[in-house]
Structure 1
């Protein structure tokens, strides 16, 4: 993809989320982000703003044991429910069960098909690189995850209350998800667990299931 096209898409996505996120400073952080972030496997409900009304949050999505099956997006119009499932997918992997390209391809199926709003790179950078994946596979490394809580950031809610129509162009919601990632490998079935959090840009148009637009470079409270 030409650099100019990618930059324009990032700018547009950042602007749409910014309408409800972090004003000009948030847009600047999103558009000027660089590629220095380490490409590892770590990332990234309050009352709803105008738009699709989220259902009551169900129990936190989780993967028990080995996530041997590649992640598939849920057919939901609730941005909170979708964001929790997407976070679990982004924080989970199994080098024993599938290849790095297979995981990347699976995550692409979570993305919105509206090219002007999607930031593919923000998702791909959360997957271990092919070289790192190979090293992890040597030790049979895999990760499972849980998403314990998700909410619309306060700044998102405030901005939509001030301008309820702002969401209706792209229907992109900012959702901050918090949870845990557990990593295990051969010889260490218990592994270790770490807290995870990320702010996702989720597109939920009224006439179709939600899709992932991207992952914000910083977590919005």
Structure 2
């Protein structure tokens, strides 16, 4: 089993320190409150979101989906560290369609390649997808999905990488219902809730080879102002149907 999968259970129980990846608790809670105040004006029926946002501590990492069906486990002893060979995170797509953008950004969020990118390079690539409006940008919710530099290095020892295939994207039913009841509610921030489903495949080609796969789903807060390309505002803590 790859390193990130072995530590998944422990990361669910407690949020590890991520250094510069995660904003301070006050900043994270403030940003998340501002963003979701906008989204929840339309998405009030999503169970658990209000309770989540009223917590004092910042959000912990919550990776959704089934436990990977691993066909072969990687050995616990790491191989010698190898420097990444160079690469880049895909550039943001230019679209004004919230669903099209959400599907594209989900593919990027569920993909990584420790063989070709360092952890800071991967982070820098993800930041390009974020909205420039700091009032609505919850970077911490995205950073929670990224392995910290130490874990990334250990994954790199095994040449671990992940690819994603996107199934579909849609506006959650609660979002559509609320928007139909108050169409003008979105015209301030133009933030849409979009749920995306797909499948993530993981492989490692270090001292031993192995693969794994799991179903993934996320609800994303996507900002699409009129006549402007969409950008990511946040990854919401619960997946809305």
* TM-score w.r.t. length of structure 1: 0.82
Q: Does 1:27 align with 2:64?
A: no
Residues in 1 aligned to 2:56 and 2:39: alpha-carbon distance in whole angstroms: 15
Partner residue of 1:149?
A: 168
| Greater Rg over alpha carbons, structure | 2
Residues in 1 aligned to 2:234 and 2:192: alpha-carbon distance in whole angstroms: 11
Partner residue of 1:109?
A: 128
Superposition CA RMSD, Å = 2.2
Would the aligned equivalents of 1:14 and 1:31 in 2 still touch at CA under 8 Å? Answer: no
1:75: Cα distance to partner?
A: 0.5
Partner residue of 1:163?
A: 182
The one of 98, 107, 114 equivalent to 1:95 is: 114
Which deviates the most, 99-108 or 24-33? 24-33
Residues in 1 aligned to 2:119 and 2:145: alpha-carbon distance in whole angstroms: 12
Would the aligned equivalents of 2:165 and 2:200 in 1 still touch at CA under 8 Å? Answer: yes
The one of 29, 35, 49 equivalent to 1:13 is: 35
Residue 176 to residue 120, structure 1, CA distance change in 2 (3 Å): same
Describe the superposition over 1:79-99 as per-residue Cα deviations: whole angstroms up to 9, x where unpaired.
000000110000000000010
Superposition map of 1:75-90 within 5 A = 75-90=94-109
Which deviates the most, 24-33 or 143-152? 24-33
Would the aligned equivalents of 1:201 and 1:213 in 2 still touch at CA under 8 Å? Answer: yes
Residues in 2 aligned to 1:160 and 1:136: alpha-carbon distance in whole angstroms: 43
Q: Does 1:122 align with 2:144?
A: no
SS of aligned partner of 2:129: coil
- After superposing on structure 2, the runs of 4+ consecutive aligned residues of structure 1 that deviate more than 3 Å are 1-6, 33-36
Residue 36 to residue 115, structure 1, CA distance change in 2 (3 Å): closer
Residues in 1 aligned to 2:54 and 2:130: alpha-carbon distance in whole angstroms: 19
SS of aligned partner of 2:43: coil
Number of aligned pairs?
A: 196
Partner residue of 2:197?
A: 178
Residues in 2 aligned to 1:86 and 1:216: alpha-carbon distance in whole angstroms: 14
Residues in 2 aligned to 1:171 and 1:80: alpha-carbon distance in whole angstroms: 13
SS of aligned partner of 1:111: coil
